[in-house]
Amino acid sequence: MVARGSLTGMAIQVRRAKERGHGDHGWLDTWHTFSFSDYYDPRFMGFRVLRVINEDTVAPGQGFPTHGHRDMEIVSYVLEGALEHRDSLGTGSVIRPGDVQRMSAGTGVRHSEFNGSPTEPVHFLQIWIEPAARGIAPGYEQKAFGDADKRDRLRLVASPDGAEGSVTIHQDARVYATRLEAGREVVHRLAPGRHAWVQVTRGALMVGPERLAHGDGAAISGEGAVTLTGEQDAEALLFDLP
């Protein structure tokens, strides 16, 4: 596993949606920003401690059967529909748009994710972040962040200390969510030595001089700040990474 992959050396490097790995499995349509499962590209093994961004659409009545993970912080961010979660910790929950779920796999956890709707697909991002330490106790957390809370601002949704009501991840990384109207701007300051990844989940926006649309991502290094400007009604996640 390569934690600090080849997406370095430029201030901004764009990863276009159509260039991602893609799999259509009938019940699952999935796009891989970084190498995952049968998709492998040595140029895209992750960025810093960000290892996986999968954009998944699960057909009605379908889902991921029970399977296991270890030593990974797994964050789910639902865009449309409802995702039913079950795990070996005894957790049973439904994740809806605006919800952020964090599952720390740690020493080992088994879980399943299912679309219980008979008619509507569920569309979500599955995100893996490498933990700062291996062998931690498994854990689960879920919190809701409404559109109004993210409108024209960067709302902290995941952090190492649970700041501002965010879910807690076991890594010195922070995840922000935003909904930007056209012409509105938000700025995120990066501390020296920090890096950012921006992933657009709907609409379009500008990251500095680069236009990003749904499914596009961008790695930012060597910059003191990241400026996002809405072009169409946009939604995006920003990762502040060591």
Average pLDDT over residues 211-221: 98
Beta strands 73-80; 122-129: pairing state: antiparallel
Average pLDDT over residues 181-210: 96
Cβ atoms of 129 and 73 within 8 Å: the answer is: yes
How would you list the strands of the sheet with 155-159, edge to edge? 12-15, 217-220, 195-202, 234-241, 174-180, 155-159, 167-168
Can you tell me the distance from the alpha carbon of 175 to that of 75, in angstroms, rounded to the nearest whole number? 10
For residue 183, give every residue at least 6 positions away whose Cβ sits within 8 Å of its Cβ, in sequence order, or none.
229, 230
Average pLDDT over residues 205-223: 96
**Model confidence, pTM:** 0.93
Beta strands 185-189; 225-230: pairing state: antiparallel
Question: pLDDT, tens digit, for every residue of 65-101?
Answer: 777 788 899 999 999 999 987 878 878 789 999 999 9
Average pLDDT, the chain: 91
> Is the pLDDT assigned to residue 170 strictly greater than 60?
yes
Can you tell me the distance from the alpha carbon of 176 to that of 178, in angstroms, rounded to the nearest whole number? 7
| 3-7, 19-23, 152-156, 221-225: segment of lowest average pLDDT | 3-7
> Is the pLDDT assigned to residue 35 strictly greater than 60?
yes
Position 10 scores a pLDDT of 46
Can you tell me the distance from the alpha carbon of 194 to that of 103, in angstroms, rounded to the nearest whole number? 24
